[in-house]
């Protein structure tokens, strides 16, 4: 593979241009596109201002396409459709950045249409371009015009128009020439479609890179007068008749409110089922500025079809990671702080604010360095309301005097309150505040245990992952008669709750606790935490923790066992397994 951009990079198999593209010509296309992207990489990186000016669009496109080429079979070329599917699989498995993910999705759509075909006629090319443009658009929760989406769509529409108006079947050269001309025009117009590009005086870098792939296909098919691989895309100021807005002045530096750092999260997730994946898409779209969920194979992902790749930008990583770890195994998590996400401030230092109930656990959080905000007790499974107010958490955060604050709500009903408090503080003071969505105090302890002074965004991600990996249960006494998820309970019954849902109803504290512990340990565990003596400590059998410790040692000899006294006032026993 040559990445030097010389004429050899655009070489095609010997012989005249054919009316169909076969497998050898698609191999030549793959090589030519790789060479063009290598030549264009630096100028694409320099033009990268959307969605984030991180200067890596060219590098991401090249890495993604190189991965696609690496996935081609060794030996004599197979059918054209088989090669297209191999390219799509390789790209999807190693797509990098927004532009790389969209390129992989475009290839996925193209390959789906070309599957099984020996050769590709002009109509096949048009169908593939249309399917690719639609696949790229469908990958985004909120499509943005003036990007690769617009340019790919314009090329597809032009290609389809050639097929529809031709009396005879069009040649690949006719289809690709029309597609290329339309794509060039749309690329030049991207600064008008997306004002951010106009202010920067550039065309969209991702679209310009994708166009190099289309140009390589045109060269391979024998389209004449295709621009050379080193020709620069037009700058915004060169667009004829472009009425571009004036460059916006730089925002003034402020010592007041700051925007939270925007993070790029990329990971692989194997969800339990398709319905779970659809729910994740909906929830994540509410907290993400960019969201792409793709399958690693052209046959699909999730719902028993293997892992999916998630790529999103967000200022609220906690809810995203909490949902992800709850939905299935998470692998290859990578976190990047996106540049220019905020302005400076005069504050310094970092603090953790933890909501806690019960003297024992409050002391544990304080000993670990957290600022404790005590909450009022509430009745488990009867009072679904927050035991702490927004203004209480705002005051606790501001009292730390820290520039960076991590909030541990430690209760499912406090998570939303903590998010509101974080938003209030961000608007009114010069602090970065993020919430790790801990739904119990044991999840909070797990999160706090991994805090190690990493960069702020990395710390929040690590703490969120630790919290999400901790399974919890509560043993409490029912205060009133009520209908629960496990059936009708009466006042005085012993309730066993798994992740906030009543799972066991009994009359013996130790029996209910033992059953909950067995359920928690079903998937395995390395650390078991038991907290006793909260609500009605006289109801906890003497020596319960010791008996649980012996039972764990018998059944799980390599697991670590930790116990605390003085737990929350609304329960008898807290259990955690991680």
Residue by residue, pLDDT tens for the chain (578 residues) are 333 333 334 444 433 345 788 888 888 898 888 888 988 888 898 888 877 676 788 888 998 898 888 888 877 667 888 889 889 888 887 778 788 888 988 998 999 999 889 999 999 999 999 999 998 888 776 778 889 999 999 999 999 998 888 778 889 999 999 999 999 999 998 988 888 888 888 899 999 999 999 998 998 888 887 776 555 554 443 333 232 222 222 233 333 444 456 777 788 888 877 677 878 888 888 888 777 777 654 444 444 457 888 887 887 777 787 778 778 887 777 776 665 433 334 566 888 998 887 777 777 887 778 888 877 655 544 445 566 777 788 878 887 778 889 999 888 888 888 888 888 888 777 688 889 988 888 898 888 888 888 888 888 888 888 888 888 888 888 888 888 878 888 888 888 888 778 888 888 888 888 888 888 888 778 888 888 765 555 567 777 888 888 888 887 777 788 887 777 767 788 888 88
Task: List strands edge to edge, sheet with 330-337.
Answer: 288-294, 308-314, 263-269, 330-337
Return the bridge partners of 406, or none: 352, 434
The C-alpha atoms of residue 230 and residue 571 are separated, in whole angstroms, by: 69
117's CB contacts (< 8 A; 6+ apart) are 79, 80, 81, 124
Q: Where in the chain are all domains bearing CATH 1.25.40.340?
A: 7-238
Q: Where in the chain are all domains bearing CATH 3.30.70?
A: 263-337
Q: Tell whether omega for the bond before 51 is within 30 degrees of 0, i.e. cis.
A: yes
The C-alpha atoms of residue 252 and residue 250 are separated, in whole angstroms, by: 6
Q: What is the pLDDT of residue 152?
A: 94
Count the residues in the chain. 578
CA proximity to 42, closest of 228, 190, 239, 232: 232
The C-alpha atoms of residue 378 and residue 369 are separated, in whole angstroms, by: 26
Q: What is the pLDDT of residue 125?
A: 94
**Class of domain 471-577 as given by CATH:** alpha beta
Task: Tell me which DSSP letter residue 114 carries.
Answer: H
Q: What is the pLDDT of residue 94?
A: 76
Q: What is the pLDDT of residue 305?
A: 56
Q: Where in the chain are all domains bearing CATH 3.40.50.510?
A: 348-466
Q: Are 244 and 237 in contact (CB under 8 A)?
A: yes
CA proximity to 537, closest of 495, 497, 507, 569: 569
Please, what's the b/e burial string for 97-115 (b: 16 or more CB within 10 A of its CB; e: otherwise)?
bbbbbbbbbbbbbbbbbbe
CA proximity to 90, closest of 243, 238, 370, 297: 297
Q: What is the pLDDT of residue 377?
A: 57
CA proximity to 476, closest of 368, 365, 349, 568: 568
Q: Where in the chain are all domains bearing CATH 3.30.1180?
A: 471-577
* The CATH number fitting domain 7-238, selected from 1.25.40.340, 3.40.50.300, 1.10.357.10, 3.90.1520.10: 1.25.40.340
Task: Compute the half-sphere exposure of residue 382: CA atoms within 13 Å on the CB side of its CA.
Answer: 18
263-337 is classed CATH 3.40.50: no
Q: Are 507 and 540 in contact (CB under 8 A)?
A: no
Task: Classify domain 348-466 by CATH architecture.
Answer: 3-Layer(aba) Sandwich (3.40)
Q: What is the pLDDT of residue 256?
A: 40
């Amino acid at each position: 593979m040559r990445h030097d951009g010389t004429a050899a990079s655009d070489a095609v198999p010997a012989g005249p241009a054919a009316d169909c593209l076969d497998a050898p010509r698609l191999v030549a296309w793959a090589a030519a596109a790789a060479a063009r992207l290598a030549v264009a990489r630096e100028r694409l990186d320099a033009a990268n201002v959307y969605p984030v000016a991180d200067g890596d669009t060219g590098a991401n496109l090249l890495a993604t396409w190189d991965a696609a080429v690496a996935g081609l079979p060794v030996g004599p070329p197979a059918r054209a459709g088989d090669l297209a599917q191999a390219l799509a699989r390789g790209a999807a498995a190693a797509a990098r950045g927004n532009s790389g993910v969209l390129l992989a999705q475009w290839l996925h759509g193209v390959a789906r249409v070309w599957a099984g075909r020996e050769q590709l006629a002009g109509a096949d090319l048009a169908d593939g371009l249309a399917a690719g443009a639609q696949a790229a658009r469908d990958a985004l929760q909120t499509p943005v015009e003036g990007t690769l989406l617009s340019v790919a769509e314009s090329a597809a529409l032009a290609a389809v128009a050639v097929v529809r108006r031709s009396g005879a079947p069009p040649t690949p050269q006719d289809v690709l020439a029309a597609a290329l001309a339309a794509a060039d025009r749309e690329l030049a117009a991207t600064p008008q479609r997306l004002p951010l590009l106009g202010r920067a005086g550039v065309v969209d870098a991702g679209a310009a890179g994708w166009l190099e792939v289309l140009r390589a296909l045109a060269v391979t098919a024998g389209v004449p007068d295709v621009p050379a691989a080193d020709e620069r895309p037009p700058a915004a100021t060169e667009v004829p008749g472009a009425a571009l807005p004036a460059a916006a002045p730089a925002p003034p530096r402020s010592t007041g409110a700051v925007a939270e750092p925007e993070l790029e999260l990329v990971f692989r997730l194997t969800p339990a089922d398709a319905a779970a994946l659809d729910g994740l898409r909906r929830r994540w779209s509410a907290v993400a500025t960019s969201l792409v969920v793709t399958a690693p194979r052209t046959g699909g992902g999730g719902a028993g079809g293997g892992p999916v790749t998630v790529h999103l930008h967000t200022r609220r990583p906690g809810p995203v990671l909490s949902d992800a770890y709850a939905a299935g195994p998470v692998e290859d998590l990578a976190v990047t702080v996106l540049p220019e996400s905020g302005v400076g401030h005069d504050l310094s230092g970092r603090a953790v604010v933890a909501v806690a109930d019960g003297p024992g656990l409050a002391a544990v959080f304080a000993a670990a360095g957290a600022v404790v905000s005590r909450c009022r007790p509430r009745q488990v499974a009867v009072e679904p309301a927050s035991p702490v107010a927004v203004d209480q958490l705002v005051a606790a955060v501001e009292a730390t005097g820290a520039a960076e604050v991590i909030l541990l709500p430690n209760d499912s009903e406090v998570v939303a309150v903590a998010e509101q408090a974080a938003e209030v503080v961000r608007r009114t003071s010069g602090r970065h505040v993020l919430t790790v969505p801990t739904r119990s105090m044991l999840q909070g302890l797990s999160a706090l245990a991994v805090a190690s002074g990493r960069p702020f965004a990395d710390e929040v991600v690590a703490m969120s992952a630790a919290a999400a990996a901790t399974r919890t249960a509560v043993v409490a006494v029912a205060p009133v008669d009520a209908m629960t998820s496990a059936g009708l309970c009466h006042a005085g019954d012993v309730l066993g709750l798994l992740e906030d849902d009543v799972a066991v109803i009994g009359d013996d504290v130790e029996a209910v606790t033992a059953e909950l512990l067995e359920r928690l340990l079903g998937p395995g565990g390395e650390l078991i935490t038991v907290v006793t003596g909260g609500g009605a400590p006289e109801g906890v059998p003497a020596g319960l923790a010791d008996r649980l410790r012996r039972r764990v040692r018998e059944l799980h000899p390599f697991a670590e066992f930790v116990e605390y006294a003085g737990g929350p006032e609304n329960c008898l026993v807290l259990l955690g397994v991680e």
